[in-house]
Amino acid sequence: MKNLFKVSAVLAVVVLTLSGCNCFKKMAKNQSEVNVTCTPEVLVLNNGKVDADIEVTFPVKYFNAKAVLKVTPVIVFEGGEVAGTTQYFQGSKVDDNYTVIDKKMGGNYTMHVSFPYDDRMACSELQLRAEIKCPKGNCKEFTLVNLNNGAIPTKEEAAILAVGGAEAAAIEYAFGLTIAQGVNTLQRDLNYAAAMQPMESGYKNVITEVTKADYKYAINSSRLSKKDKSSEELSAFQQKAADQKDNDRIKQNIYVNGYASPDGPEKFNDKLSAARSESGKKAAEELLKELGLSLDASSYGEDWEGFKELVAASDIEDKALILSVLESYNSSTEREAQIKNMSSVFSALKDEILPQLRRAQLVNSSDITGKTDDEMAALVRAGKFAELDEKEMLHIASTGKLTAAEKVATLEAAAREYKSAVAYNNLGVAYAEVGEGAKAADAFAKAVKAGGNSSAINNNLALVNLMNGNTEAAKAYTMNASKEAKALAAAAEGNYAQAQSQLEGYNAAVAATMNADYTAAKQFIANDVTAAADYLRAVIASKQGDMAAATAELKKAIAKDASYAERAKKDVNLRKYIGTEIVL
């Protein structure tokens, strides 16, 4: 395999010389006119496969009427090879069912070959291996033929071929005709993860928590007795305010709202609610005097909103009718009159609902500031996931504060603890970003099982199937996927012109490069300073024959990510560096 990529990629002629096979000797007469071409000359990875069309032109008076030629395409790479479908050609006097090549007419035959891609094929050669069979002479059985010089194996070589092993493989390789070199794997550089959609965490750094307690009044009264100023609800309110007082992350806003029940004259109730707000404020100041907190007071007159909420939550039989009346009238006077007319329900309202609205409501609206991003990142690095809730974990994973591994670990913890569609979806995106396609697909499937039915999950299912080479499976999702996902699906199937027109940035540059639109490709990544973009610029420069620029860009890529040095040694797009110790 030391010769990989060292022979010319330009194909012209199969050279056949005289051999010990009777019919094959005659076929050698017009050897210079047998042409073999391969399209493409540099193989291309597309949709998980490597395809090529091999065209063989046999000249007039070439093919012996009694000969049978067995041709097998083989992709050869370091450490192995994969054989394609064998094709048979026969002369016009052979009694068999192979493709007939008439001696008088000659013939043209196109052989389509397709190989499932193996990572080792990046640095490879596509060869044709041929065996000849003649009715007489040394080739009564199919015998290997050297397509480079027409020779058949010597006795020593035949013995080695019969045994097999590494030496036999070396002979077979030497006898093969190389018709294409390497596999352009640039399609695999499409960044499907970049188009995936994480779901919103729902996290807010500052949340508002509201605590309420009521001072209750007798009908038409704004006075509070000592008993009215004491309740479990008010004690709990006071205790929570005290607990939060010295917390630097909490800002407490305390106020008192005075209300009246809507069962009297509106003007009277306005004055009554104002009086209740004042008496309620004095009682609240006394309740909270040791905390040194300031209070504001307001009055809101008749509490129709509170009335509606209490009715809706009650067991009153005709509550739907009452609520309908509330919606039908804008005037509070009309509302009150209509409700009083409903004698069957008014007693229930009088006894169960209205007394609860004669109140001054004490409200603590606390603005609670959460952990900083740095604090959350520190907890992640300490492995203290239990000190973070789901929204915090989803949030810190989205900030760029974590390494890729830390991000995965955080989202794994969130998914493990909360098993939500959002956690599974975002974990799938994180797996995809680190190249874990199988794990990403599993996470997205779990997001669906957890009840996820969003466009983001559908989009990600399309992309992860493309990432994993499952283009047929991806089609079930691409119909309803984003424009970007559809364009990447087109690129995954080799439709680079379509993909280029619909993509942006790095992915557009990959599509443009595969489309041989190098000017556009460079424009797409003009402002991209990542190692991946540097490497792609090296590929583009190499294709344009500018090896100085290719070397400079490759140097930048390797400085940022040393793995590109090894990749360049096998990348057919950078033939200058293949198999070399790259010193830049």
Residue showing tokens 């019919």: 23
Share of the chain above pLDDT 70, in %: 94
Residue showing tokens 């002979």: 171
- Can you say how many angstroms the Cα of residue 211 is from the centroid of all Cα atoms in its chain? 42
Region of 540 on the Ramachandran plot (φ > 0 left; ψ -120 to 50 alpha; else beta):
alpha
Higher-confidence residue of 12 and 543: namely 543
Please determine, for residue 580, whether its predicted confidence score (pLDDT) is greater than 80: no
pLDDT digits (tens, 9 = 90+) for 554-576: 999 999 999 999 999 889 999 87
Give the pLDDT of residue 19: 52
Rounded Cα distance, 150 and 147, in Å: 5
User: What DSSP string runs through 423-465?
Assistant: HHHHHHHHHHHTT-HHHHHHHHHHHHHTT---HHHHHHHHHHH
Please determine, for residue 221, whether its predicted confidence score (pLDDT) is greater than 70: yes
pLDDT digits (tens, 9 = 90+) for 187-208: 999 999 999 999 999 999 998 9
What is 206-369's CATH number?
3.30.1330.60
Give the global pTM. 0.76
Rounded Cα distance, 508 and 499, in Å: 7
Q: Which amino acid is present at 233?
A: E
- Whole-Å CA distances, 527 to 59, 72, 452, 530: 54, 47, 36, 9
Give the pLDDT of residue 4: 42
Tokens of 409: 């670990």
Long-range contacts of 226-229 (CB under 8 A, 24+ apart): 228/283, 229/283, 229/286, 229/287
- Whole-Å CA distances, 75 to 120, 130, 182, 469: 10, 14, 9, 20
User: Rounded mean pLDDT of 25-43?
Assistant: 80
Rounded Cα distance, 72 and 85, in Å: 6
- Can you say how many angstroms the Cα of residue 476 is from the centroid of all Cα atoms in its chain? 16
Contact (CB, 8 A) for 269 and 262: yes
pLDDT digits (tens, 9 = 90+) for 504-533: 999 999 999 999 999 999 999 999 999 999
Give the pLDDT of residue 292: 84
Higher-confidence residue of 18 and 577: namely 577
133 three-class SS: strand
Which are the contacts of 491, defined by CB distance < 8 A and separation ≥ 6? Answer: 187, 190, 499, 503, 507, 510, 511, 514
Share of the chain above pLDDT 90, in %: 71
Q: What angle do helix axes 421-433 and 437-449 make, rounded to 10 degrees?
A: 170
Name the residue ranges covered by the structural domains of the chain.
22-184, 187-201+371-493, 206-369
Give the pLDDT of residue 474: 95
Rounded Cα distance, 401 and 404, in Å: 10
Report the chain's terminal Cα–Cα distance, integer Å.
Answer: 26
Question: If pLDDT is split at 50, 70 and 90, which confidence band does 399 have?
Answer: very high
Which are the contacts of 336, defined by CB distance < 8 A and separation ≥ 6? Answer: 262, 263
Please determine, for residue 14, whether its predicted confidence score (pLDDT) is greater than 80: no
Which are the contacts of 425, defined by CB distance < 8 A and separation ≥ 6? Answer: 198, 199, 443, 444, 447, 452, 454, 456, 457, 460
Mean pLDDT, the chain, rounded, equals 90
Rounded Cα distance, 484 and 482, in Å: 5
* Angle in degrees, CA 512, 514, 518, rounded to 5: 50
* Strand 359-369, strand 250-260: pairing: antiparallel
Long-range contacts of 475-483 (CB under 8 A, 24+ apart): 480/455, 482/195, 482/197, 482/455
Question: Containing H/E element for 6?
Answer: none
Which of 102-116, 143-157, 395-409: highest mean pLDDT?
395-409
User: What DSSP string runs through 220-275?
Assistant: T-----TTTT--HHHHHHHHHHHHHTT-TTEEEEEEEEEEE-SSS-HHHHHHHHHH
Least reliable range by pLDDT among 135-139, 362-366, 388-392:
135-139
Question: If pLDDT is split at 50, 70 and 90, which confidence band does 79 have?
Answer: confident
User: Rounded mean pLDDT of 28-56?
Assistant: 86
Domain covering 22-184 assigned CATH 2.130.10 in the classification: no
Beta bridge partners of 253: 365
Rounded Cα distance, 68 and 52, in Å: 24
Please determine, for residue 63, whether its predicted confidence score (pLDDT) is greater than 70: yes
Contact (CB, 8 A) for 463 and 192: yes
Please determine, for residue 476, whether its predicted confidence score (pLDDT) is greater than 80: yes
Rounded Cα distance, 336 and 528, in Å: 69
User: Rounded mean pLDDT of 158-162?
Assistant: 93
Give the pLDDT of residue 152: 86
User: Rounded mean pLDDT of 64-86?
Assistant: 93
Question: If pLDDT is split at 50, 70 and 90, which confidence band does 121 have?
Answer: very high
**CATH superfamily label, 187-201+371-493:** Tetratricopeptide repeat domain (1.25.40.10)
Tokens of 286: 């006394």
Give the pLDDT of residue 61: 83
pLDDT digits (tens, 9 = 90+) for 313-371: 988 888 888 888 888 888 888 887 877 777 567 778 888 889 999 999 999 999 999 99
